[in-house]
Chains A and B, each alone.
Chain A
Amino acid sequence: MTQTRRPTADLVAALRARRNEDGGFGPYFGRPSTTESTAWAGVALSAEGDTESADAAIDWLLDRQLASGAWPHSFEAPEPSWMTSAAILALSDVPRAREAVAHGSRWLLRQRARTFPLLTRVFYRFWPDHVQVRLDPELRAWPWTDGTFSWCEPTAMAMLALERVDPRLVPGTVQFRVREGERLLLDRVCTGGGWNYGNSWVLGEDLWPYPDTTALALLALRGRPEDPRVAESLDALQTMLEDHESSLSLSLGVLCLDAFGIDATSYRERLDALWQGESFEATTRAVALSALALRGTDNPFRRIAADA
């Protein structure tokens, strides 16, 4: 099953090298720090035992939380952002971040995606054969940006973040929101399993699934292993990973399969080989997720599963 091993030293060094002077991490080497990149780098470097870098990342995050409880994208874009979920995930095990996590979670619970106007929702209910996009418009989960529609990744990330929070610190609506998130993800599953960015069928055509969004959605749905759509999507994920050569897809795929207790050895080996060879520049998120996936332990998603 899960192997305990260390990621290549080069990979960890590459991640560490992306640390900016402010203690945060940008999406690529030399880029300004962002909440998401800093959050994932912090998680991975903490797992590596680099407490100095991890603490710097935690400080960066704590210093930048907004009064609303949300986290911004970056210094240059100070509005509340979808990256709040990543910050909560990164800080959820940090004792000194307990109040910040609770405050952030309350903001996240207030975030609810927009949906269609009443007329459109009525149309979808009574004339489902004439719609352009097949979905249940009554479901509202999490958007990328305020005032827009529900999409897979922000929904899955919000669900994963909220599950990490002590339920005594957040309103009782958390269960309702997570359940609605589950229903939305299951509503948007592609024919044959897996998830696209958030639609499954548009203008008479099935959309094809992506491994990275599929892995995230499955992680968020791992409490529903009995649902046939989850089982089908696990199969679809493994099929997709067979011909996906990218660190983001393989690392998320490995972390997901680990969390479900499925042997991911072959994908982990391919991820390792990808990093040993020449590859295109990966985002800091992908580097961090690769480091976590190659360790085989300290999988933050697996820990969540064990806690659940």
Chain B
Amino acid sequence: MPDRRSFVRLAAGASAASLLPACRDEPTGPRWQASAAVKSERSEVAVLSATYESDLGDVIRRGIELMGLDVRGLRVVLKPNFVEFDPDGVINTHPAVVHGTIEALRLLGAASVVVAEGAGHRRDTEYLLRETGIGFALRDTRTRFIDLNHDAVRRTPLLGQYTPLGSLYLPDTVLGADLLISLPKLKTHHWAGVTLSMKNMFGIVPGSHYGWPKNVLHWAGISESILDINATLTSLRRFAIVDGIVGMEGNGPIQGEARPVGALIFGADPVAVDATGCRLMRIDPAKIDYIADASRFLGNLHADRIDQRGEAIADLSQDFAVIDPFASAKQAAEVTGS
């Protein structure tokens, strides 16, 4: 007989918003296509300190250069996170970070930069662009916005088999990019544990096909969907810049509380970037199911496989609150420091 907590999770886990798999079967073999196994021996991540008042164009340029990313001549798609708006909240990638990234990419010679997002909760993109301030950052920088909820799509076979989905409609704008940059907010997440560069890719799944919220991903399993989508994106050149200047703790990704960290995270390995984000929140990345699974084929989780540039994590990390189901990830981090 399960204990009360297990029973609650087992029964209520099949809820409308989450459908967290109650039990995660140990995979008997690889659940990804061979072409999605891109994990290298070592990965590099940079953490740079910043505030929203900093010259973010300059900070982000330094971060990109520190990682050796050459964007010259590339058609770049920036994928920020603006899922919802709360005037008192810190839900979304800050417009100053979007603005600074556009500036830096242009300075470094990108052929074109577009910003693309498919908001997961709200159909009213016009409202989100205005209220989040991102629309004004785009206007200031004369940057085109693509609403991924309504982009032209291609049915795309998934390179992971964590879900039974098999394929998804994915937007042409993303699939045609020379370089896809995930630009998420550093946040806890009440169903997945954390939301960083990999979870941010939920936003490329078009709402006009899958709805608001993108409930098909919930039924298929949130962690499993993150893995399949990110496995599939290994066909693209990718990079991530995480807005951890002010993060969100507690009941994220919408209703949590602001937690200043003062950091931007840079890297091409999404697993290493997300693991670093976890460490900045003092969360053990190995205890976040999808990051642990992703570390089997997509990238490096363990700190001894990540070459850390810029600021030391210990100098910037903050003790982020998490909700109960993820308390063990916090406790483990405190004990092991992993």
Contacts and interface: CB of A to CB of B under 8 A. Distances in A.
B16 A135 contact: yes
A114 interface: yes
B17 A143 contact: no
B215 A203 contact: no
A198 interface: yes
A1 interface: no
A27 B16 contact: no
A99 interface: no
Interface in B239-254: 251
Nearest to B214: A144
Given A77-B155, A116-B14, A130-B12, A282 B210 contact: no
Nearest to A117: B14
B190 A203 contact: yes
Nearest to A245: B130
A248 interface: yes
Interface string A160-199: 0000000000000000000000000000000000001111
B135 interface: yes
A151 B12 contact: no
A151 B8 CA distance: 23
Contacts of A133: 12, 15-18
Contact of B209 (A28, A77, A135): A77
Sorting the interface of chain A by its residue count into under 10, 10 to 19, 20 to 34 or 35 or more gives 35 or more
A197 B15 contact: no
A127 B124 CA distance: 36
A190 to B, nearest CB: 13
Nearest to B11: A123
A244 interface: yes
Nearest to B86: A208
Contacts of B323: 203
B18 A132 contact: yes
Interface in B1-16: 4, 7-8, 10-16
Interface string B101-139: 000000000000000000001111111011000010000
B216 A148 contact: yes
Contact of B127 (A120, A123, A246): A246
B14 A247 contact: no
Contacts of B151: 31
Contacts of B150: 26-28, 31, 34, 283
A182 B15 CA distance: 21
A136 to B, nearest CB: 11
Nearest to B219: A148
A82 B190 CA distance: 28
Contacts of A283: 125-126, 147, 150
A212 B119 CA distance: 15
A199 B16 contact: yes
A116 B213 CA distance: 17
A137 to B, nearest CB: 8
A34 B154 CA distance: 14
A76 B152 contact: yes
Given A27-B147, A27-B150, A76-B154, A132 B13 contact: yes
B129 A131 contact: no
B124 A76 contact: no
B14 A282 contact: no
A261 interface: no
21 contacts: A27-B150, A31-B150, A119-B11, A130-B8, A143-B215, A145-B211, A147-B216, A148-B215, A149-B218, A150-B16, A196-B121, A197-B121, A198-B16, A245-B127, A247-B126, A248-B123, A248-B126, A249-B124, A280-B126, A280-B135, A283-B147
Interface of A: 26-28, 31-32, 34, 36, 73, 76-77, 81-82, 114, 116-117, 119-120, 122-124, 127, 130-133, 135, 143-145, 147-151, 153-154, 196-199, 202-205, 208, 210, 212, 244-249, 279-283, 286
Given A27-B147, A122-B11, A249-B127, 10 more contacts: A77-B155, A117-B14, A123-B11, A145-B211, A149-B215, A149-B218, A197-B122, A198-B16, A212-B122, A280-B135
